Each structure stands twice: as structure tokens, then as C-alpha cells.
Chain A
Amino acid sequence: MATYLEFIQQNEERDGVRFSWNVWPSSRLEATRMVVPLACLLTPLKERLDLPPVQYEPVLCSRPTCKAVLNPLCQVDYRAKLWACNFCFQRNQFPPAYAGISEVNQPAELMPQFSTIEYIVQRGPQTPLIFLYVVDTCLEEDDLQALKESLQMSLSLLPPDALVGLITFGRMVQVHELSCEGISKSYVFRGTKDLTAKQIQDMLGLSRPAVPIQQGRPLQTPEQPVISSRFLQPVHKIDMNLTDLLGELQRDPWPRPLRSTGVALSIAVGLLEGTFPNTGARIMLFTGGPPTQGPGMVVGDELKTPIRSWHDIEKDNARFMKKATKHYETLANRTAANGHCIDIYACALDQTGLLEMKCCANLTGGQMVMGDSFNTSLFKQTFQRVFNKGFNGEFRMAFGASLDVKTSRELKIAGAIGPCISLNAKGPCVSENELGIGGTSQWKICSLDPSTTLAIYFEVVNQHNAPIPQGGRGAVQFVTQYQHSSTQKRIRVTTIARNWADAQSQLQHIEAAFDQEAAAVLMARLGVYRAESEEGPDVLRWLDRQLIRLCQKFGQYNKDDPNSFRLSESFSLYPQFMFHLRRSPFLQVFNNSPDESSYYRHHFARQDLTQSLIMIQPILYAYSFHGPPE
């Protein structure tokens, strides 16, 4: 048998899953004594060269509360053409299309190497990807110029049939109509007035005319696309037009830098909400400073009052923060509900209000990029990289995903931490104790790329007095439905199983199967998650206590003899990770602005294990002329 290290690695490569424990303690009591919760890091769209998607619908368990997908762990009766769900034990008939299966003629989803499998399904009309640029015009001349160039360049990177739209804002917000010829037309909104989605749609003329068409009037073809396409047009049709339009963008001419980011975002959200709900779409916000007016304003327009600092926040002195945060949260939730995402590209020397706006990216799976200026290679390259293509020539982005987690009876789902929001799917496998975003077995991830990683926490609910028979295995199934960048609808199903072990008699097994890297990242995510809502010192104290308890449980030492302390190999690095985590910018705010903290935390909550570890404990490379970095 291979080492656990190899096992873990193999599992990660195949399924994109890393568990803190690879052998599970078989009772609730024991599980809690393990200190580090049973949890996993899941990279739903982990790139796999060897995973050809199958072109049919998955077979689902017929029990309405289960609906698990047929997988290699299921018991199959080939003669009766029946299969038993390994989560709820429901016996299911195979669908007619499976009439020909036998032990030698198995569908892919029953083969062990397909513990992760991807289905391409035909559902609904395919809509092209949508990119809505929301551009701040209150920039310095050269910054604006650089931004314009980046945007113009990006047009060539977009898929030709992608829909693109442009909203610019400063003191006012302008929604540019891209379909008109001869004259450039835009709808203008006051930057200080918060509008409901309905109002926005009315004002943009997106709502269907309720008035019956009068006689004698030229009839207008009342097709939905016609209406919406005024603002969102296929790139190939209007790239010249849009390039010119971008080129002609003027700096906001009003005397003061009044920036209506809040309203601009609100309009962008409303526009997509009204035209393409539940279709993959990115709202890409480019801003060169904090919102200074209207709903969502972060700082006043007078330069004498600086933007809030951690100090102000502690002193409860940040007047606009709560209101602004609320505004952006509302927007983020709406966006997420529609399956769209918001990217934030903030380039300024000072803060830009990421603290308040972070939820827009966090809840919708959007990007967050922070730079000093649009005229830096940092921004230019980062932005370009967004449109990078994967090895198979596809964009490394997916949209509107929903993640459904199913567990064996002994296990319940406590929550998830990552760029997702809850879909509030209560079910039998949802735990009452929440860790992260809990109370649900389904989450929505509006935008994700192959490295997007969620932390999912479980709770062992098996009672101590009802032991699991030797050799029993617990299973978890992750079902991710998403819109592929090729606009296909796909479903990726990952089913994994781990052995149960009695912690009293088989502690060494459990110990050996401990994945300290995963555990460190999972604990770090918990810590960072808590840090968002709790005081910094409390979080640190909590982390410390957890570490101490872990050492207590798994360390070997003689009382009052520090030198005697030993941890087994599988735990040896864990304290070190915790040490670095304590002083990382994810938990320490000293010397970081609130924006920076938000930025770091944002990234930490979505990266995969390797990236996360590097972030926690930066690797110091030594470069030389004589060899590779060490």
C-alpha cells in the first residue's frame, strides 16, 4: 500500500479533493476530540487532461431527498438492471438507455477511475458569455489612457460571439448603447440616486411596453434580444464601434472627483438582471478611487477627510462604512441570485473602498485586483491573464455553478468557506452546527476557474454507542453544475469514500492519515472567516488554543519537560504553519489598510491548497546563476 502521502496526492490529482483526515473517526465524540474538524478542500473544476466529458445526462437516485448521482461506489445488480444508492440505499432502476449494461459493458460512471466524471447536458438555450465593463472615468489622463488601451485590447481576447457592454461613471453613470450608428448614444443616470432594478429597467427601456400598440403605428418586433442587445452586443459586431467609443471616453469633466461607483454597479446589476438572468456574465468594474457620492459612497468628496483606516473602524469612526457595505452586499446578493459575477479592478495609490465592496467579488466568485495604477504592468498583465486560455483552448472561467454535496448518513455538512453563497438547501445531511457558510447542502458559485477552491466542513454524527462495522466507509459526493466557457451546461460529479476508524483502538491509523497541509489551510480559512466578523485577538487566541489542544491530543511529551515534546511526522509541520498564519496579513491588520486586508483575505479564501500554503508560509527561493531556484 502506498503511503498516505501518495494517496493524498493521487486523490487530489484525480478528484481535486483534500481531506484533513483521510481516515475518519467513527463517532461524534471522537471527531470533536481530534480538534481539527473533518473537512476538505475541494477544487471543483480542477483541470484534468485525462477527463473526457461524457455527452449524456447523469443517472440520479430516485429518492427525492437524495438524488445522488450514480457512481462507482454504488452496488449494481446487472441482471435486474438495478443499482443501490450508496448514500440512501434506495434501489433504483436503470433508465432504458442503460438496458445493455453488464459487468463487462459498464458506463463510464461506474468505472472506479471515474470517481470524478463530467457530463455535458443539453438544457435550455445557449447564451454567449457576457462581459459588462464598468469603467471609472475619474482618472488621471495617463491612467485613463492606459485603461482604455487595456480594454480595447481585451476586445480581441474575448470570444467573438461574446456579448459586451459598457457603462462608464464619474459624477454621472452612463450606459452606452452600442447598436446605434452615426451617433453614439448613452443613457445617463444621476450618480446619487439609488434605483430599484425595476426603475433601471424602465429607464433603459428594457421593460416590455405594457401599452398596446396603437393602430397605424409602425410595429416594432417585440423580440427580447432586440431590446437587450442595445446595450450588450456581440464583440465581433461592434468591436470597431466600441474601440472608438472607448477611445473617445473623456475624463469626467466635473470639477471634483465625484465617483458614483455604487450607482454604476447597481445599474450594471440591474441591466443584466433585466436582460440575462441566470446566464454567465461578468461585470468588470475598473475603478481608480473610492466611491465618493451616492449610495455606496465610502468617503466624502472633500479631500480634507481621508478614507477610513483600521483605526477609524475600531473607533467606530467610519461614517459611511456600514451603509456602503450594506449597499454592496445587497448588490452582491442580487448579482449572485442571477448567477452573475462582479470583478473589481481597483488601481489607485490610496484605498478604493475594497473593504466595502469586497462582498461583490467574494459572494459572486469575482476577481479582485488591487494595483497602484492602470498604467502598470501589474494591472495590464493581470487583466490580460483573465482571458488566458487553458490547455484545451478554452477560457479558464466557468459561470453560474452550483455545488451540491451529499454525504453518507454518518456525516453531515457543517458549511463551506469560499467564493460562494448559500442556496439554502436544507436536507437530511445538513448539520445544525455551522462552520463557515452553513445550513445548506448547496452553494452557488457564480464564477469559478480551475483553481477556485472551497473549504467544506463536515460533522461526524455517528453516536459513540452505535459503532460502525469494521471496514465501513463513509462517502461524499460533490455535484457541480456549471456553465462552461463554451456556454455548454456541464455537470461534474466527484464521489469519494474514506474508511471509518475507531479513534480509541485505531488512533494511529487516523493519525497517520492526517493531512497537515490541508488541515492548516482549512484551519486558516476558518480563522480568516472568523476574522471578518470577530476581533483580531480573539481569532488568534482561538487559533492558539486549537493548536495547543491538537498538540495535547497528538503530541508525546513528559509533563513539565518542553524538550520531551514530539509530534509524529504527519503533524510535524502543522505548528509551523500556524505560526506563520498568526503573523500573516490574513489575520494581522497592522501595517495594512482595510482595503489590503480585504484584498488578501479575498484571495486566501479561493486559492487551492498549494497557493494557500505559499501565502501562509512564503517560500524563500534562492536564485543563482548556476542552477534552478532552491
Chain B
Amino acid sequence: MSQQGYVAAPPYSQSQPGIGGFSAGFGSPNSSLHYGHYGDSNSSCSAPQPGVSKSTVPFGSSAPVGPPPPGTHQFSQTNFQNGPSTPGQQPHRFQGPPPPSNTGPSYPSYSHQSQPAYPNTASASSTTQLATQLNSMQINSYGPGTTPSSRVSSGHPAPFQGPQLPPPTQQQIALPPGSQVPPPANNVNGLCAQSSLPPMARQDGIPGPVPPNPNLQQLSGQPPGPGYHPQQANYGPQMAGSQLSYPGAFPGGPAQLVGPQQKKLDPDSIPSPIQVIENDKASKGGQIYATNMRGQVPPLVTTDCVIQDQGHASPRYIRCTTYCFPSSSDMAKQARIPLAAVIQPFAVVPPNETPLYVVNHGETGPIRCNRCKAYMCPFMQFIEGGRRYQCGFCNCINDVPPFFFQHLDHIGRRVDHYERPELSLGSYEYLATLDYCRNNKPPKPPAYIFMIDVSYRNINSGLVKLICDELKTLLDKLPREEQEESSAIRVGFVTYNKVLHFFNVKSSLAQPQMMVVSDVGEVFVPLLDGFLVNFQESRSVVINLLDQIPEMFADTNESETIFAPVIQAGMEALKAAECAGKLFIFHSSLPTAEAPGKLRNRDDKKLLNTDKEKVFSTLTRDCVANGCCVNLFLFPNQYVDVASMGLVTMYTGGTLYKYNNFQLDADSPQFLTDLRKDVGKKTGFDAIMRVRTSTGFRATDFFGAIYMNNTTDVEMAAVDCDKAVTVEFKHDDKLNEDSGALIQCAVLYTSISGQRRLRIHNIGLNCSSQLADVYKTCETDALINFFAKSAFKAILSQPLKTVREILVTQTAHMLACYRKNCAGPSAVSQLILPDAMKVLPVYMNCLLKSCVLVGRPEIPTDERAYHRQLVLSMGVADTQLFFYPQLLPLHSLDLKSDTVPAAVRCSEERLSDGGVFLLANGLSMFLWLGVSAPPELIQGLFNVPSFAHISTEATSLPDLDNPFSKKLKSILQHIQSQKPYTMKLMIVKQREQPEMLFRQFLVEDKSIYGGASYVDFLCCVHKEICQLLS
């Protein structure tokens, strides 16, 4: 009917052209009979109309992508092109198709698209590929080409389901219609066809008269009944959205096309990250994972399991993007899969896993290969009865030093294999000798210097007092080695506004002495003795000082601050004391006082970083050279130029914390937790990391909170448990499949007790000449970590648009390569995803939607710089959560079990009026309350009678003695436990203003800043892939 309608429509068709086609497409998947479906699903709406609108959209898209439609098309290509830009035109084309649709039940959809083809017989082909509908574009391509028809048709006989199912071997899943999907639940990633969706979508859309459509205007042209409007409206917006999101990446056309189709896709049918995570948990969670095999793919970061080091570093320390490297660079280029490892050398291991052993090789220091200087490790092959060993990295044959000699057993393994961690484990530490120390002198224990901004703002907000009070107790909890009684770390104190105040807190003094340095142009440290002290020894003086600081400046009216000289001063102090250390800087405003590093308010939306700030770059160099790590706590009320101020922090391995509009009562728990955690962190100081690889490839690029003076040494003034360095590898040569690809990461550092040590992580990867092996062992979370860091680094040197395009094309390339080389034969129009990369598109889309990559003027520059900086040093687990937040339904809590409820996908569709959800991304946390959330739950959590009584001001939940509250508290704690940043809880009520903020985190949806929805993006990628394949 609808189709007929379309046909008839010609006149207005222009406005609605696509409609017919679309509907067809949708319909088909569900049931053979489109009409039926339509009617059914859309019962409320007039079936035809909806169809029309939809179809139009796809059309447009298809046109550009697909091969040029045959001349047969009723509409000229030009029309198509225009189509995208002006939907109105597209519709026309469709009109043609509709007729065919009539004939074929399911294919109608295709037919629409392929209309032109239709005449050619394309109809059949089109029908087959309902699944592929996702990309109307593809379809189009088929259709028009007519040629494609052959493929399609061959692949899928009349029934749509048929074709789809088969292909869905494991990894590929075409985007079959939803209906078919059911089976796919397993590995099948298939983007399920929209088939199932159609009904849904329509319904939504239709009733949805939804939101206001800009596009409505276009509709106006349409004569059709009222029904149309709503639908179109829906589409319209989508299209717009999609366009915005990928302006750079794709031609406008495709994006638009994608948009419309999405609606029809059943979200449940496209690969779900949650599903993947849950599957992995189900198969590996709670088990023991032994690292005894080379190239073994570890459990996902989201899966809890016990890791046993049996010769390769635990995935907590190293995660690779793929555990099987392509054996040649040609292969690597073909696949375009980044070869990278995310190394988190100081990652925290849970108490039930063994901590690292410390190996002491005596005065000569660790045994190392003579040629490549790799450290003794399980990859060394002992030969000649144990007298010599062959280096696994460079193959050099070395003599075994006498003290290290040991006989070999019958399988050529040293008898003491299991007694020596350096022979049997993937990770362990060496004690370093003086040769590894700065100036060949044993290092002194590190120092922490607390530098507090005592300008008017901070005093007035009570922050200074808060910090001082907190320090009194915090200093008792400085980190120490397990075996030591007290911490060896010394502490020092500096306050500053426009000038610097140093404090002499020597234990012999009756009261602290304050020394003012006003020469901020050339800062120096005014005292050597008594500045850095042991807290236990100087306790009374320090406490006295901390008591006095807030009073001392109580009547200050100094509002200007300095910044670079503060860091300089801390660095000089550490330098003078000849030790490494951390600065804790508590700063609130843009440093506008006359001094080096003075910043101006230049909140230019286009700027993201300022490596050009010379002061900061030389400061950075000096800090790194002197092992001075800068931790920055920012409390801005307005623009503070995070990009410049965070620079030193970034490169010195420090952590940046930012508390916008800090309010003492609301934000201090968050800040204090962060501070406590940071002070207590186990940290390696004055570190140098070196990544050695076996022959055939090498580390070429490093991303993270690091500083590099040359191409190989990764310098970090300090590296703590949360900092990860992502290392990219490139081929030099062919890799040997037998020996695999070996990586040894050595970090030379000074421990918190002032011991010089080497931390070694070894990992062996496989090599293969089969691309399938490579794809099989990919790790999507690590890939996203790599992509995020490389993109975030690149935005400084390349236009945003380019960076985004690269991400999208690379995604498409990787998938296309798989499709071409690994996947079974299937229709081009099918989107086939390798099993290991099933969720790559959704994650990639999340990455593209991150505020760093969305260059929208509404997003404060500071926020972008802040996120950029955080992500650059994140480990895999953190990026995973950051880009794809955890959304937990709380209304269905199982109060009896102590497990965290299973997460749901981050999409608005998953929310319900009657639900309560918790969303966390590692930085912020939201408690979302549906308007009709269960009152008993509300009572239980907030101790208020109803939804209306809940205050959204609170940043924490009351401590209540009831199962709901306790359970939620334990969940919150669990979520928070492993995360480096304390998340501030925001309470959001459905349909209230703050919900906007919350919605940004529903990453599968279209974002208000123009990010595409998951489905949109999937279509877009699919289209790209098709282009690549054709």
C-alpha cells in the first residue's frame, strides 16, 4: 500500500522520495511481507508514509557511496548528490523504486535503493540483503550497479534470513535484519539487521512526532497525510546530527543516509559492548589466568580474575593491541592494525596475586646481554651445558658469569629455573648498582613538597584551611616500603601568591620560620637545612606551621598568583637536596602576576595546547632532569589555561586534578580522597623506561605522561600505579614465526625508600603470516587506548578534522582488510566484524565523541585540555571505562548477592521511567532517577518519601541503615576502588535540566554536541568499508 502510495506520489514524491524504498527495506527483514509489517508495526501511523520518509534517506546515502547508479535510474546521480544536502530531492528517486517493492516482499527495501537497478532485475539482489540495510548506501551501490545484484542474489536467496545466517559464521555478521539476529547472540556480531527494528523504529519515530524537526520544512512540501510529518521529523534530525558529527570524515551524503536507517536498526541487534564484557566475564571471570603461553589473549580489563605470572608479564602490566604480530611489514600495512603495547609498569596487583620479587645480582649489577643490553629474562636460551646463553632479543651468544652458572636439565632448562624469578617470571625487579644511579651516588629518599596557593580566593573559600588540616593527618600516611616502620619520604612546605614563602620546619626550632622569596623572575631556594624534613621528627613544628598558615594569610587581599616560578622553586629545592620528589601544587587561578610563565586569558576555542610557552617547556625539561614530578590540583572558577598549566604536570608523570567551582562542603570529600590517594600512591621516581624488542621490529612511538629526549629513552620524573605508556611498534624486517615477537620493558627508578631498582616486564607475542591470526588475537580495549592517545597527541599538530578522518578511515581499513582477507564469502553489503573487534566501532564512536575530538565552541577549552591530558596517561582499564561508561540499573538490585548488577548499554532507550541508574566513567558519576522510580527505593536511598523530595544538590548519599543504601554504598565503593580519580556523585532527575549533562554520557546515542549515534556510526563505517572493498 504504502508503496503504491509512493508510486502515486510522484508529484510530491520529490519531497518524500525515499520513503517508499525505505519502508520496503525495513519491512523485508521482519517478515517477508513488508506491507504486513508495516501495517502491523505502524498500526498507529499510516504505514506508507513512514516508509517513505525512511526510504528517502537511505537513498541519498546510497547514491554517493555506491557505484554510480546505472543510467537507468530515474533520477540522475546529480540528484542523489543533492539528495543528501537536500532531502527533498531524494525522495523523487525513490518513487521509482516503490513499484518494485510491491512485487517483492522483503526486498522492497532494497529495491528502493536500487530502484534504478530494479528495472535491471536488481530487485532480487536487493531483497537478499535486507541485512545489509544498515547501509543503504551499500545497497544502493548494488542496486544501481546491477552487477552487484549478482553477488547479492547469489548469497541470499529469496529469504533474507537465509543468507544472513550463513555468513554470520562467527565474526562476521552482516547486518542482518533484526529478526534474524536472534541466533547471532553468540559470536555473531552481526549488526543485526534492522529488520526487527523497523517496527520499533517506526513506532518511535512516528509517535515520536518526536522532537522538533528542522527538516520539517522539507516535509511541508509533502502533500501526504499528517502521519508523515512525525516520521520525517525523526529522520530529519538524525540526519542533521550525523552530518555534524562527521563533517570532516565523510561526505555529507553518506552520513545523512545513515542517519535515517538507524532508526530502523534494532539496537539489540548490533554488537553490544555489554554483551561482550559479560561473555568474557562468564567465560573467564573468577578463574586463574596463567601467563604461560606466548601470544595468549588475556581476559578483558573488565573481567575479574587471578593472574598468575608464568613467564610473561601480567596483562595488568602490559596489554597489547594484538597478541599475534603480522610477520611482515607488508601484512601489517595491509591490516593497518596498530601494533602497540600499553605498559603500566607500576600497576597495582590485587592482594591475592604475588607481588614482584626483587632479584639481586650482586655488585656487578643485573646480568645483561652484551650486545643489546637486554636484562636476564625467561627469553634467554641457555646452551652449551649452561655455560652460555643466547639472547632472545638479538640472538647474541653471551657467557654466563661464573656466579650465575647452573647446569641444565634434560630438556635444556636450568636446574634452578623455578628458583630464579628472572628465569621463570614475566615481571620482577633487580636491585640496581651505583652504575645505575645519578652521579654514581646512591639516591636519597624522595621528598614531597606541598605548595599552596594562599591568594585571596583560596583563603576565602576555606581551601587553604582544608588542605592544612588534612595534611596534619595525611603526613602520617606517607607511603613506605612494607618492611619499613616509617616513611623515608621527607616533606617541605611552600605557600605562595605573588611571591613565594618557604618554611623552615627544622625539628630543633621552637616555631617555623618563614622565608619570603619575592624575586619570582629568578626563583631560588632560600634555605637548604630545615626545608625538607622528616615529618615524624619535625612533627610539632610542622603541625604548628599548618595551624598557622590559614591564619597568617587570613586577611590577605592578594589576588594575583604566579605559577611557573612555583614549580621552579620546587624543582630547585629538590635539586639542592639532591633527591627526586613530587610537588603537590594547589592552585586556583590563572597566574597573572608579573613573572615568568605569566598567562593571559586567551580562552580561544581553537587552541588546545601551547607547547610554545617556552617557559613551561624549559621548566619541563629541568623538572624531568631533576626527577621532579608535578602534581597539580586546580580549583578554577573560570578559565585557567589548563593546556599551559598542565604541561609540566603532563610531562613529569604527574597527575592533574581539576575541581571546577570548588565548594568546600560539596567538593571537599572528592578532593580529599584524591589527595589522600595521590599522596599514598606507590610511585617510582626519577624513572627511565626502555623498551627492547626482538629483531624484526622496534618501538617507534611512545604516548603517555612521559618526556623523551631521544627516540629510545622514556623519561619520567615519576611514574605511579595509574600511569600507562602506550608504545607503538613497527616492523624493521620480517618476523620469525617460531621465535615470535618478544618485548622487554625495563624501568629504572628510585623507590619510595630511596632504593635504585630496575623493574622488568617481559612479554612474548606470536607472529603469523595469516591475517586471520592477527585479527583473532586483537584486543579492542587496548586498540582504543592506542587510538585515543595517538589521536589526542596528534591534535596538537594536525587539524581536528584530519585526526577524526584518520580514525574513521583506519577503522574502516582494519575492518575492510578483515573482510577481504579473512571473512568467508558474503555479500559486500554485509558488515562483517571480526570477533575480537566486534565492539571496535562503538568504542571508536565513543572516542570520536569525546570532547577532545569534538571541536565545539560550547565545550570549554580547559575541559578539553584536561581530558586530553588525563587520557594520555591512562591505562587500558581506565580508557575503557572513560569512553564507554558503566551504566548500572539499580532498581532491580539483588539485595542478597554481593555482586554488582550487570551493566546495561549506554543508551537512552535503556533507561526507564521507573528505573534508577548509576553511571560512572572514571571521572564523574551520576545517579539517574526515573520520574516513577520505586518509592521504596527512593526512601531507602535518600530517606525522603518521594521523588519530588530528593535534593539534587547533594554530592553524596546519606548513610542509612537499610539494605538499599548499604548495597548502593558498596557498589559505589567497588566502582571507585580501582579508579585513579575520585568521582563526584551527581544526582540527576529525569526530565530536569541537569539531565542534559548526564545524557552526554549515553554514548550510544547521538550527543548534543553532534556526535553520531552508534548506529549512525556503524553505517558510516560500513559505507567506508564498502567503498574500500569496491
Contacts and interface: CB of A to CB of B under 8 A. Distances in A.
B526 interface: yes
Given A172-B526, A190-B524, A185 B545 contact: no
B591 to A, nearest CB: 16
A388 interface: no
A463 interface: no
Interface stretch (A200-208, A471-479, A546-554, A592-600): A200-208
Interface in B545-560: 545, 548, 551-552, 555, 557, 559
B519 A205 contact: no
Interface string A175-215: 00100101111111110010100010011110000000110
A248 B509 contact: yes
B511 A183 contact: yes
B456 A188 contact: no
B555 A218 contact: yes
Interface string B512-544: 111111110010101111000000000000000
A504 interface: no
B499 interface: yes
A186 B456 contact: no
A437 to B, nearest CB: 37
A184 B527 CA distance: 14
Nearest to B502: A188
Given A182-B548, A220-B557, A248-B509, A193 B522 contact: yes
B216 to A, nearest CB: 50
Contacts of B559: 214, 217
B477 to A, nearest CB: 26
A250 interface: yes
B516 A185 contact: yes
A253 B515 contact: no
Contact of B548 (A183, A199, A204, A248): A183
Contacts of A220: 555, 557
Contacts of A248: 509, 513
A625 interface: no
Nearest to B551: A182
Nearest to B456: A217
A184 B513 contact: yes
Given A185-B516, A187-B515, A203 B499 contact: yes
B511 A182 contact: yes
Given A193-B522, A217-B456, A220-B557, A187 B527 contact: no
Given A183-B548, A193-B522, A220-B557, A188 B513 contact: no
A261 interface: no
Contact of A183 (B456, B526, B529, B552): B552
Contacts of A494: none
A190 B513 contact: no
A391 interface: no
B513 to A, nearest CB: 5
Contacts of A174: 515, 526
A193 B515 CA distance: 18
Report which residue of A186, A189, A214 has the largest number of chain B beta carbons within 10 angstroms of its beta carbon.
Answer: A186
Contacts of B557: 213-214, 217-218, 220
B526 A203 contact: no
Contacts of B522: 190, 193
Contact of A186 (B499, B514, B528, B551): B514
A574 to B, nearest CB: 58
A623 interface: no
Contacts of A218: 555, 557
Given A214-B559, A254-B528, A184 B514 contact: yes
A187 B545 contact: no
B517 A188 contact: yes
B513 A183 contact: yes
A218 B502 CA distance: 25
Contacts of B501: 185
Contacts of A195: 519
A187 B526 CA distance: 9
Contacts of A180: 514
A202 B518 contact: yes
Contacts of B528: 253-254
B592 to A, nearest CB: 11
Interface string B850-871: 0000000000000000000000
A253 B527 contact: yes
Contacts of B552: 182-183
A190 B516 contact: no
Report which residue of A184, A213, A253 has the largest number of chain B beta carbons within 10 angstroms of its beta carbon.
Answer: A184
A203 B517 CA distance: 8
B518 A204 contact: yes
Interface string A234-257: 000000000000001010011000
Interface in A438-486: none
Nearest to B517: A188
Nearest to B506: A250
B638 to A, nearest CB: 15
Report which residue of A183, A184, A205 has the largest number of chain B beta carbons within 10 angstroms of its beta carbon.
Answer: A183
A356 B548 CA distance: 44
Given A172-B524, A213-B557, A250-B529, A186 B519 contact: no
Nearest to B523: A190
A190 B529 CA distance: 16
Given A182-B511, A203-B519, A218-B557, A188 B526 contact: yes
A248 B504 CA distance: 12
A248 B559 CA distance: 33
Contacts of A253: 527-529
Contacts of A186: 513-516
Nearest to B515: A188
Contacts of A184: 511, 513-514
A218 B559 CA distance: 12
A217 B511 CA distance: 30
A172 B523 CA distance: 12
B832 to A, nearest CB: 65
A184 B514 CA distance: 6
B514 A185 contact: yes
B665 to A, nearest CB: 21
A184 B504 CA distance: 10
A180 B502 CA distance: 16
A504 B555 CA distance: 82
A253 B551 CA distance: 30
Report which residue of A187, A220, A254 has the largest number of chain B beta carbons within 10 angstroms of its beta carbon.
Answer: A187
B511 A205 contact: no
Contacts of A217: 456, 557, 559
A204 B552 CA distance: 17
A205 B593 CA distance: 14
A185 to B, nearest CB: 4
A274 to B, nearest CB: 13
A190 B519 contact: yes
Contacts of A182: 511, 548, 551-552
Contact of A187 (B512, B517, B524): B517
A193 B513 contact: no
Nearest to B556: A218
Nearest to A217: B557
Interface string A150-193: 00000000000000000000001010010010111111111001
B526 A193 contact: no
A184 B530 CA distance: 14
A85 B84 CA distance: 109
Interface in B708-759: none
B475 to A, nearest CB: 19
A189 B513 CA distance: 15
5 contacts: A183-B545, A193-B519, A195-B519, A253-B527, A253-B528
Given A186-B513, A217-B559, 15 more contacts: A172-B527, A182-B511, A182-B548, A183-B512, A183-B513, A184-B514, A185-B501, A187-B518, A188-B502, A189-B517, A189-B518, A193-B519, A214-B559, A217-B456, A218-B555
- List the 9 closest A-B pairs by CB distance, nearest first: A203-B518, A188-B526, A253-B529, A187-B516, A185-B514, A217-B557, A188-B515, A184-B513, A190-B524
